[in-house]
Structure 1
Amino acid sequence: MARKYPFELDPFQQQAVVCLDRGDSVFVAAHTSAGKTVVAEYAVALCSLHKTRAIYTSPIKALSNQKFREFKLIFEDVGLITGDIQLHPEAFCLIMTTEVLRSMLYNGSEIIRELEWVIFDEVHYINDAERNNSDNREYSLNVNSTALIIVGTTVNKFVHAILSGTRGHVWEEVLIMLPAHAKIVMLSATVPNCVEFADWVGRIKKKQIYVIMTARRPVPLEHFLYTGQDGKTKKDMFKIIDSDGQFVQKGYQLDIGIHFMNLYFAYFALIDKNVYITVIDHLRMQNICDDNAYLLRSVDLTTEKEKSSIHHFFSKCIARLRGSDKRLPQVLQMKELCKHGFAIHHSGILPILKEVVELLFQKGLVKVLFATETFAMGVNMPARTVIFDSLQKHDGRQLRMLNPGEYIQMAGRAGRRGLDATGTVIVLCKGPYVPDYLDLVNCMQSFQGKPTKLESRFRVTYSMLLNLLRVEYLSIEDVLRRSYVESASLRLALAHKARLKEVEKLLVSKEDPNCTACFPIESRSIVDYYENLKIFLRSRAELWPELIRFSVVDKLLAPGRLIIVCLPEVGRIATVAILLKITVDGNSKKMTLLLSVEGDQQIREKCEIDSFTRMPQEERQEICETSLLQCAALYGLEGLPPQKFSDQVRRIGFVLDGISFDRLIAICQRTVKIDPLAIIEDIKSRNHPNHRTKSPNEGVRKIINEIDNITANWDSTKKGNIKLPGQDIQVSDIDIFQKLLHLNDLRNFLINDANFHCRQCPLFREHFIYIHDKRSLQEKCDELRVRLSAGGLLLSQDYYDRIKLLRRLNYIDDSNLVSLKGRVACEIHHQELLITELMLDNKFHYRSTAEIAAMLSVTTCQHRSREGDYRKDKEDEIVRPPPVLKELKDDIIEVCNRIGTFQRECGVKDVDISEELSFDLMHAVYEWANSMPFADIMQLTDAQEGLIVRCIQRLDELCRDIRNAARLVGDPALYEKMDDTSAAIKRDIVFAASLYTVMD
C-alpha cells in the first residue's frame, strides 16, 4: 500500500483504496464524518510514490486553508493556491479552489501536464447555484468535541448577497476540460443519483468511474425535541427518532413556556447535569455579537484552566495584528465569549477570528458555537450534539423548510467516532411555534428521506465563451454537449444515431406515386396542399385560445352551444359536443363537454382517456395534429367523419372536462337550452355500478338525440351551420384582426379546388396518407439531426445570443476570433464585461487609487445597507461620503445601462448588471485606501467586519486581474496605478495571514 493507517479501514475505504491502486477513478458517497478523507489521502500518497502531482480542490477558500494545514502534517511537501495566496506552488500536492484549477486548465499550466490525481471534495455542492460566500442562508449550529449543535435558520433580511457567484457550473467546466491522463477522486455526501452522475463523468472522460457508496453512519443519530422554557419544563427533551431511524411517540408532551430566551437558559441549566455541550445559531439579531454576548453573559461553561488556555491561545493568534486592530470591538467580544466557552462563526466575523474559533473548537475549548452552514461543510470537526433552533431557512427569496440534503449535512456533524455511541440531534421548540406530533413526524420523515439530487448548474458565461474561443483546443459546442445538463442526450446519442440511420433508410425507400394530379411537374402538388393545410390547422389552434379572451366570443360560448371539437383521447378525430361550462385553469381556460356515446362504451372511453393522459405531451400533441390533418383533408376543414346510428343501440351522455381551446374546430350556429348542473349530476349518478343500465332522464335524452341528429346530418359547407373566425367572428384588437384575416384567406385558398388539382384525384386519400407518412419521417429525421447537433442542446440559444453580443461589442469578430478587447476580458475573472468596458473607456486613468478602489468595490461587495450608503450621524461629518463617489457611481451605471441595452437587443436573458452590484461599501473602501484605521472604517457602515474584509480581499484579486490586462494591452500607466491601488488596500487586519498557513 502507498500509505498505511494505524486503524482498520472500513469496507468502503478498502474498496476505494483497491480501485486507486489499480489506477481507477472513483466516486465515493458517504455520510458526514464517515472517513472519506482517507481516500483523498491515499490518492495523494500514490502521487508521492509515483513522483507525480496531485491536486485537491474544495468549494471554498476557507476549506482549502484548513486542508492545507491537515495535509501539511501528513505529507509535508504541500502547496496552497487560492485567489490571494500562493504557498509552495512547486509542491507535488497542491490545495486549491475549483476556480483556480479552471484558470490553470484554460491557460495550459505546466502543472496539468504532470498531474496524476485530482480530488474533488464536497462534490454535492455542485448543486450550489448561488454560492457566494455571504453565508446568508440557513445558519446551522455545529458542535465540538464534547459539544452539541443548534441550527438556527433565520436570516437578517438586509444582509443578502449581491454577487451571483454561481459555483456549480465551475465544477462542470473543470471536469469537462481535465486532460485524459488525469484520474479523478470525487468525494460526496450521500446523494440518490451518484451512479447517474458518475456515468456522466465516465462518458465525457471515456473512462470507468467506480461508484462506492455506504449508507452506514459511523455514529448513529438520535433526534430529540426540546421544549424546556422555564424552571418547570427545562428537562422536557423528548426522543422523536431513535438510533435505528424509528419514530418514537411515547411520552411526547409539550408545555409551552413564556419566552424563547428562557429556552436557552433552561437548556444551559440542563447542560450542568448532562454530557451535552451546545452549539447555537441565533443570527436574526441586528448586532449579533453584542446581542448574543448579552444573552449569554451570565453563563460560564469553562474551567479556570480552560480560560487560561483560551486566553494564551487567543492572544498568540492576534499578536500579529497592529495595536488598534487588537482592540476592535469584535475581537474583544469574541475573546470574552470564547473564555466563557461560546463563539460565533459566520460571514460577518473577521477571517482571523473565524480561524481562532475553529482551532479552539477542535481543541474542545469552545463549547457553544453560533455557526453557519459553511461550518458544517468544513473539515472533520464532529460534535456530540447538533441543535436546530428552527427547521426553516430563508434562502434569499423566501422562507422555506430545510431540504433533506441541508438537514442531513448539518445534523451529520453530531456524533464523534470512537467517543460516542450515538450522536444527538435536537430541535428546539419556541413559544407558539411548537408543532404537534403528527406535523413534526411528517416534517422529520421528509428529512429522513432521500437527500437532494445532484443537478446541473451549468450555464453559458461570457468568460467561458471567450476563453474557449481563445484556447481553441476544445469547441464551445463540445463543452455544451458534455455538460451534465446534457447528460441525458449524451446517453441517448448512440440511440439517436442508430434511429437516424433507420429513418433515413425508410425515407430513401419512399418513392412518390406516379400521379400527375397529385404530383404535377409545374402546378401545385399534394405536398403544397399538405403544408398549407398544416399551417391553417396550427394557426386555428393557436387562435382560439386568444379569441376566448374577448367578450364577443365569450358570449357565443355559453352553456348549451354546440361545437365541433377534436377528442383523440376518446377515439374521436372530430365530433359534435355540447358545451356545459368553461373553467379557468391558471392562465388558460378549459371546457367541460357533453358527448353522445353508446351505452356499452362508457367504461372503454374512460380507459382510453387514462391511457391518453399518461402519454408524454409531445406524443399527445402529435396524435392531435395527425387526427386533425386527416379529418380536414378527407372530410373538410370543419367536417366530421361519417358515423352510423342504430335504433337498436342505447345512447347515453358522457361528460369530459379539462379540454383546452386549441382542440376547438368550429362553433356551431345551433344552441340548446340546458341545465349544466342537472346534466352533470344525472351522468354522475349513472356512473355508479348499480345504475349503469339506467336510462338518462328525459331532458338529457333529448339533448343526446340533438347531438346525434346534427352529427348524422352534418354539412360544414352549408352556409350558416358554423360561425367562422374572420367572417362571423370579429374583434377590435388589431393584431388578432390581422391573424383572423390571414386565417380566413388561407381557408378560402384551401377550399378552392381549382388551386389544388390533387383534390380531384380518385386516390387522394391514399396519396395524402402517403405524404403524411413521408413528411413525418422527414420531420423525425430533421429532429434527430438537430438533437445530434449543437442546435439541439438545451443551452444553444443562450450560447448564440451571447456570441451575438460579444460580436456587437467587438470582443470577437465575425469569424469568432478573439480580439484584443476579448483577450482583456479573459484576464478578468469577475464582471468581465463591465470591468473591460470601464478599463477601455479610460474610466480609471484619471482617478486616484482610493477612487479606483471605491469604484471596483461595487463588484466585490456582498452587503446591502439598511440605512443607505452611510450612517446618518449629523454630529460627525466624517461619515458623509465625498461628492466624487457620486461621479464614480454614475460612470458605472452608465456603462451598465449600455451593456444592458445591448443584452436586451441580442436576446440575452441575464438580469441587468447593475442589479448584481452593491454601492454600499464605496465610502468605507475609499477611506480604507486613504489609510483610515479599520476601527474608524466600522463607523462608516452597518456592514459586519467579515463582509468588509471579504470585499477588500476580493478587490485586491480584481486589481491583479486589471494589472495583468494592462500589461497585455501595453498600458504601463494603468499597470502602475493598479499596483498602487493594491498596495493601498493591502494592509493590517484585512490581509492578516491565515492561521492555517503560519501556525505550527
Structure 2
Amino acid sequence: KVGDSGEDASEVDIKKIMKTIRARDLYPVIVFSFSRRACETHANDLMTGKTQLDFTTQEQKELIRQIYDNALLCMAEEDRELACVQKIYPMLERGIGIHHGGLLPIIKELVEILFGESLVKCLFATETFAMGLNMPARTCVFTEVEKFDGKEMRVLQPGEYTQMAGRAGRRGKDDRGTCILMLDKKLDKEELVHMTCGTGSALMSEFKLTYYSILNLLRRASGEEDAEYVIQRSFHQFQHTREVPRKKRELEQITAEADGIQLDMSDAKAELVRLQNAARDARTALMHHAVDPEKLSRDVLKPGRLVRVRDGDDEWGWGAVVGVRDLPAEAVPPLEPDKASEWGLESEWAKREMRNRRRAIDVLIHCAPGVHEGVLRPAKRILGRPGKLAEKGCTCEIVPVALRLVDAVGAMVLTLPRDLTDANARAQVGLAINELHHRFQGKTVPELDLENDLRLDGDEFHESMGRWSRSESELRAHPLYAASTKDGGLNEKQIELYRKKASLMERARDLKKEIKTTQLSKFRDELRDRSRVLARFGMLDEEGTVTHKGRAACEIDTADEVLVTELMFNGCFVAMDHHALVALCSMFMPVEKTNEVYPLAGAAKEALEGPVKQLREAAKAIAEAELDFGVRTQAAEGEDGRHEAVNEYVDSFKDALVGMVYDWSVGTNFDEIMRGTDMFEGTFVRAARRLDELMMELHRAARAVGSAELADSFEKGAESLRHGVVSAASLYL
C-alpha cells in the first residue's frame, strides 16, 4: 500500500522505526535484511522522500570525512573516483552504513571501522555481519523473518535468529538489548516461539572424500591406509561411533520385548505375517517412486481425489484429499543422523526426501473415537465387510498426512461439500467412502496407473513393480490368506501379535547391521568409485599409483581438479594467450545469478568460443564417468534422468565472468566493466582474487609436470588481474 506522503509503506515503516529508536536513544542499531538489494534499498529510503534522516553531529561528520579520506589513500588515485566508492560517502556522513558481500572489500572494512567507533549509527546488513565479527549494537531490527535458502522461502531457524539477535546488547554498556521484528504477513505463534526460543540445529559433519584428497593420500607410499587413517579420525566417524552405544541399548530393549511375545515364528501364521510385511515393504518401495511433489502434483491431488493412507502397520484406508500445502521449515523434521550420514545432506536422495517431508496433504478420513480428546488413530473396519466400521463413535475428520504415507492414489474424485467445518458435511463424505468400500468388496478400488497416469518409468521403477507383484502373488497364494480377509477366519489379535513380533525382529536385524557396518566401509566404497573415475582419466594407473597427470591434479584445490587437469592435458590451454586463459578459468569460480550477462565480443569472443565448448564437452565426459561408477546419482530413472544429471554438472560452470575477466585482464576501466552487468562490485573483486589463487595453483601444477611455458602463461594470467581495486590493500594491515 502507499502512505499519505506518496512513499511506499515499507519506507514509512523503516523511517518511523528509526525515529523511535533515535528518540529512545537505542543506537547503534543493526538492521538485518536477507538480500543485498534490500540493504541498499532500505538505506536509500532514509535519505529520500520528504523526511531525510541524519544521525551525526557536525563534529562527527568531520571525523567521518577524515577516516574516509585516509581509507582512500590505500587505493590507486584513479580508483578513488569510482562510482561505488563515491556513492557510499553521503550515507556515511549521515551515520548510515551498508554491509554485505557485494561491496568492495575496502568499503566493507571502512564501514566496520566507522561502526566500531559508533560513527555509523544505523547499519543495514545481511546476516553475514553476524558471523565472525565482534560488532555488537544496542538494537537489532529484522526487516523480515523469512529468507531464501537456495531452494525456497522459509522462516529463520532458531540458530540463525539467535546469532543475529545476539548482537543486541553491548557487554559493559547496556543492561539489555532490543530486538524489533517487522512483519508484513501473519506469523503463527508456534512459528514465532520456535524461531525465538527453539533449539538450534544439531551440528552434522559434512566430511567428504574429494579427488584432491584421494590423489594426495594415494601419492604417499601407503595410500589406502593413509585414507583410512584420516577417515577414522574425522568428526564424521566420531559422530557415527557415538551413536553405537545408543543403538546397542535400543537393540537390547527390542530383543527383550520380542522375547516376551511367546509365539513360534516358524509356523504358518508367522509365514503369513512375513509375507504381509514383505508385500507392505515392496509396496512402500514402489510408492517411493511416486511420492514426489513433481509426480504427485497439485493437479493430481485435487480436492476430492481418493488416496489410501498407511503409516507402517496402521492401515488408515481410503480418504478424500481436501487440499495440498507446504509445511513451514521448522515443522519439517530433519534427516535422521543415520540417513544424513549415509546419504549426505546434499545428495539427490536427501534432497528428494526433504522435498517429500515439506509437502503435506489434508485428507478427510475415518478416525477411531477419541479425536476430540487428542487421541488420533485409524478406524478399524470389519474383516469381510469393509463397508462397516468395527467401532461405534468413529468420525470423519480432516487429518494432515505426510506425502510419504500415501499408499495408493485412486482413479475416482469425489465431489466435496463447500463447508467441511460442518460435522454433518464430513459425515456425508464418510458415507460415500463407506459405500466405495462396500461396492468394491473383495476387489481393489480403481487406482491411477503408476506407469501410464503418473508417467513413471525407468529400470528401478520396473524392478520395484516386479518385486511388488511377486510379493502380492506369494501372499495371495498362502493357504491362510483367504481366511485372514474374513471376519472370524483368523484370530485378529493373535495375528497382530505375530505382526508386532515380526516388526521387532526386523528392527533388531537392522540395528545389528547398522552397528556392524561402520562409516569406514562406506568411505571405502566411495574411495573405490572415485578411484575408478580417476583411473578412467589417466590420473591413476591399474595399481592405484598416481600418474604424471595425477600429480598435476594434486596441486589444484580451488576448482574442479579433474576437469581443470583434463583441459590442461587435452591441449585446450596451449593455444591461448594469458588474457583468454584467465578468462576461461573464471568459469570455475562460483558466482551469484545475474540478470544481465556481460557481453563477449570482438577478440574475446573469437579467442574463447572454442575453449568454452571444449570445457563443456570435457565436463560432460566427467559427469558420465561419475554416473557409470556411482559417484554421481540421478534423480530420475532412465535416459532422461541421466541426461538431466549430466546437464546439471555441465551447467554448473557458468560464463557470467568470462567477458568481465577478459576485459579486466586487458586493462579496461572498472566502472566501464560494471556498467555492463548488474553484478555487485564486491562479487567481481572477490571472484578475481580467488581466480588469482587458482591461476597460481595451475602455475604450480604445470611446473610439477614440466611444462614451463604453460606455467608462465598461468602466472602472467594471475598478474594481469593484480591491478586497481582487485589488489587494493586491506585497511586492517
What's the TM-score once normalised by structure 2's chain length?
0.63
Check whether the contact 2:32–2:127 (CA below 8 A) recurs between aligned residues.
Answer: no
Note the alpha carbon deviations across 1:627-684, whole angstroms, 9 max, x for none: xxxxxxxxxxxxxxxxxxxxxxxxxx99998799xxxxxxx9xx66x633xx356474
| Range 880-889 or range 455-464, more displaced | 880-889
Answering whether residue 575 of structure 2 is matched by residue 846 of structure 1, we say yes
Residues 837 and 380 of structure 1: CA distance in aligned 2, closer, same or farther (over 3 Å): same
Check whether the contact 1:345–1:372 (CA below 8 A) recurs between aligned residues.
Answer: yes
Answering whether residue 308 of structure 2 is matched by residue 584 of structure 1, we say yes
Shift of 1:986: 1.1
Answering whether residue 387 of structure 2 is matched by residue 675 of structure 1, we say yes
Residues 391 and 539 of structure 1: CA distance in aligned 2, closer, same or farther (over 3 Å): closer
Counterpart selection for 1:480 from 199, 218, 231: 231
Partner of 1:831: 560
Check whether the contact 1:289–1:333 (CA below 8 A) recurs between aligned residues.
Answer: no
Partner of 2:656: 920
Local SS of the residue matching 1:425: strand
Partner of 2:123: 369
Partner of 2:489: none
Local SS of the residue matching 1:387: strand
Residues 807 and 325 of structure 1: CA distance in aligned 2, closer, same or farther (over 3 Å): same
Local SS of the residue matching 1:343: strand
Cα separation, 1, equivalents of 2:200 and 2:710: 50
Answering whether residue 704 of structure 2 is matched by residue 968 of structure 1, we say yes
Local SS of the residue matching 2:554: helix
- 1:419-430 correspondence to structure 2 within 5 Å: 419-429=173-183
Check whether the contact 2:582–2:662 (CA below 8 A) recurs between aligned residues.
Answer: yes
Partner of 1:463: 212
| Range 312-321 or range 283-292, more displaced | 283-292
Residues 497 and 925 of structure 1: CA distance in aligned 2, closer, same or farther (over 3 Å): same
Cα separation, 2, equivalents of 1:903 and 1:301: 58
- 1:442-457 correspondence to structure 2 within 5 Å: 443-444=192-193, 446-457=195-206
Partner of 2:665: 929
Check whether the contact 1:861–1:921 (CA below 8 A) recurs between aligned residues.
Answer: no
Check whether the contact 1:828–1:962 (CA below 8 A) recurs between aligned residues.
Answer: yes
Note the alpha carbon deviations across 1:463-504, whole angstroms, 9 max, x for none: 22222323448533343344334435423668999999xxxx
Local SS of the residue matching 1:296: coil
Answering whether residue 114 of structure 2 is matched by residue 360 of structure 1, we say yes
Answering whether residue 625 of structure 2 is matched by residue 902 of structure 1, we say yes
Q: Which amino acid aligns with 1:483?
A: S
Q: Which amino acid aligns with 1:264?
A: I
Unaligned 5+ runs, structure 2: 252-265, 289-305, 319-335, 339-367, 371-375, 396-441, 444-450, 480-500, 634-644
Shift of 1:315: 1.2
Counterpart selection for 2:67 from 307, 313, 325: 313
- 1:388-407 correspondence to structure 2 within 5 Å: 388-407=142-161
Shift of 1:818: 2.4
- 1:89-100 correspondence to structure 2 within 5 Å: none
Local SS of the residue matching 1:451: coil
Shift of 1:792: 6.7
Cα separation, 1, equivalents of 2:185 and 2:511: 55
Cα separation, 1, equivalents of 2:60 and 2:527: 59
Local SS of the residue matching 1:475: helix
Check whether the contact 1:861–1:920 (CA below 8 A) recurs between aligned residues.
Answer: no
Check whether the contact 1:861–1:919 (CA below 8 A) recurs between aligned residues.
Answer: no
Residues 935 and 589 of structure 1: CA distance in aligned 2, closer, same or farther (over 3 Å): farther
CA RMSD in angstroms comes to: 5.2
What's the TM-score once normalised by structure 1's chain length?
0.48
Check whether the contact 2:231–2:520 (CA below 8 A) recurs between aligned residues.
Answer: no
Partner of 2:586: 857
Residues 806 and 537 of structure 1: CA distance in aligned 2, closer, same or farther (over 3 Å): farther
Check whether the contact 2:379–2:394 (CA below 8 A) recurs between aligned residues.
Answer: no
Check whether the contact 1:230–1:266 (CA below 8 A) recurs between aligned residues.
Answer: no
Cα separation, 1, equivalents of 2:543 and 2:274: 36
Answering whether residue 9 of structure 2 is matched by residue 259 of structure 1, we say yes
Counterpart selection for 1:886 from 609, 613, 617: 609
Local SS of the residue matching 1:300: coil
Note the alpha carbon deviations across 1:399-454, whole angstroms, 9 max, x for none: 1111111111111111122211212212234xxx2648xx4585045312323322
Partner of 1:940: 676
Shift of 1:950: 0.8
Local SS of the residue matching 2:726: helix
Counterpart selection for 1:992 from 716, 721, 728: 728
Local SS of the residue matching 1:310: helix
Residues 941 and 786 of structure 1: CA distance in aligned 2, closer, same or farther (over 3 Å): same
Check whether the contact 1:384–1:416 (CA below 8 A) recurs between aligned residues.
Answer: yes
Shift of 1:457: 1.9
Residues 591 and 748 of structure 1: CA distance in aligned 2, closer, same or farther (over 3 Å): closer
Shift of 1:835: 0.9
Local SS of the residue matching 1:352: helix
Q: Which amino acid aligns with 1:980?
A: K
Cα separation, 2, equivalents of 1:356 and 1:326: 14
Note the alpha carbon deviations across 1:912-951, whole angstroms, 9 max, x for none: 4324322111100010111112121112221110000011
Check whether the contact 2:32–2:124 (CA below 8 A) recurs between aligned residues.
Answer: yes
Cα separation, 1, equivalents of 2:173 and 2:285: 69
Residues 300 and 857 of structure 1: CA distance in aligned 2, closer, same or farther (over 3 Å): same
Partner of 1:293: 44
Cα separation, 1, equivalents of 2:542 and 2:35: 53
The size of the alignment, in residue pairs, is 553
Check whether the contact 2:308–2:317 (CA below 8 A) recurs between aligned residues.
Answer: no
Residues 824 and 782 of structure 1: CA distance in aligned 2, closer, same or farther (over 3 Å): farther
Check whether the contact 1:850–1:930 (CA below 8 A) recurs between aligned residues.
Answer: yes
Shift of 1:846: 0.6
| Range 374-383 or range 482-491, more displaced | 482-491
Cα separation, 2, equivalents of 1:342 and 1:485: 44
Cα separation, 2, equivalents of 1:316 and 1:869: 33
Note the alpha carbon deviations across 1:213-247, whole angstroms, 9 max, x for none: xxxxxxxxxxxxxxxx889xxxxxxxxxxxxxxxx
Partner of 2:715: 979
Local SS of the residue matching 1:280: strand
Shift of 1:327: 0.9
